[in-house]
Amino acid sequence: MRIAITREVSPAIGRCELTHLERQPIDLELARAQHRAYQACLAALGCQVQTLPATPDLPDSVFVEDVAIVLDELAILTRPGAESRRPEVAAVAEALRPYRTLYAIEAPGTVDGGDVLRVGRRLFVGLSTRSNAAAIDQMRALLAPYGYTVQGVPVAGCLHLKSAVTQVAGDTLLIHRAWVDPGAFDGLALIDVDPSEPYAANALRVGQALVYPAAFPRTRGRLEARGLTVLPVDVSELAKAEGAVTCCSLIFETAE
């Protein structure tokens, strides 16, 4: 069974944390409608969507990916780089508890789940404004007994590693090279975003399909030319909060 944990859009999303974007007005009702369509897309792909309620005092809480890293054997609760986001962890921890043994990143470590890209037994972790080497060291020690490697990857010009690179097939990544060194991903095939679409590297792989922002048709064409199935969704309002399609869910397999 494939579970997708999501969280409703906070009425305070207009006060979200921003690092690389100028603040713009966010249409709350449109953001909620786009989020419902995103959830429906996940359900159509076979996910059992579990939705946590909106939290008025946690503007960024719709972005559940950032507060946990869910692997086959366990889940790691993060310590988000933005202090305002740390209270988001508790509710997601309770949602994950029935499915995984939980571990937690401790101070001085900070990491956002958006900085963690898993490819098989390899974890690439962005060294960004939100995630640091202390967290990577903790993850490496925790995951080594399970056969995972954990590699830090410098990120520049964007919020998270998965703003710059995501997995679109078993051995294939979608990448914007200006924000991350492609040399970090040895042995993997790379698809470049269209130069006119710098924010187009974030795709959400669900089974054999990709949930993908409708705003990037040229890069979508590149993906489809490789034989990939792409399901476009409009996330324009969430993008104003530096959100993307991977950010809004935690997807994992579990025994029925």
Instruction: Write the DSSP assignment of 16-53 as a string of letters.
Output: ---SSS------HHHHHHHHHHHHHHHHHTTEEEEEEP
Per-residue model confidence (pLDDT) at position 255: 82
Per-residue model confidence (pLDDT) at position 41: 98
Q: What is the pTM of this model?
A: 0.96
Please say if 41 is a catalytic residue: no
Instruction: Share the mean pLDDT of the chain.
Output: 97
Per-residue model confidence (pLDDT) at position 256: 65
For 17-71, write each residue's pLDDT tens digit. Answer: 999 889 999 999 999 999 999 999 999 999 999 999 999 999 999 999 999 999 9
Radius of gyration of the chain (CA): 17
Spatial CA neighbour of 249 closest among 26, 43, 27: 43
Please say if 35 is a catalytic residue: no
Judge whether 96 and 78 are in contact, CB under 8 Å: no
Catalytic residue among 16, 47, 247, 248: 247
Which regions of the chain are under pLDDT 70?
Answer: 256
Distance CA 195, CA 158 (A): 15
Catalytic residue among 41, 160, 176, 248: 160
Q: Which domains does the chain show, CATH number per domain?
A: 2-253 (3.75.10.10)
Which H or E run includes 228?
none
Q: Under 8 Å CB-to-CB from 217, ≥6 apart: which residues?
A: none
Per-residue model confidence (pLDDT) at position 110: 98
Which H or E run includes 144?
none
Residue 162 main-chain phi, psi, to 5 deg: -80, 0
Which H or E run includes 139?
helix 133-143
Other beta carbons within 10 Å of 111: 28
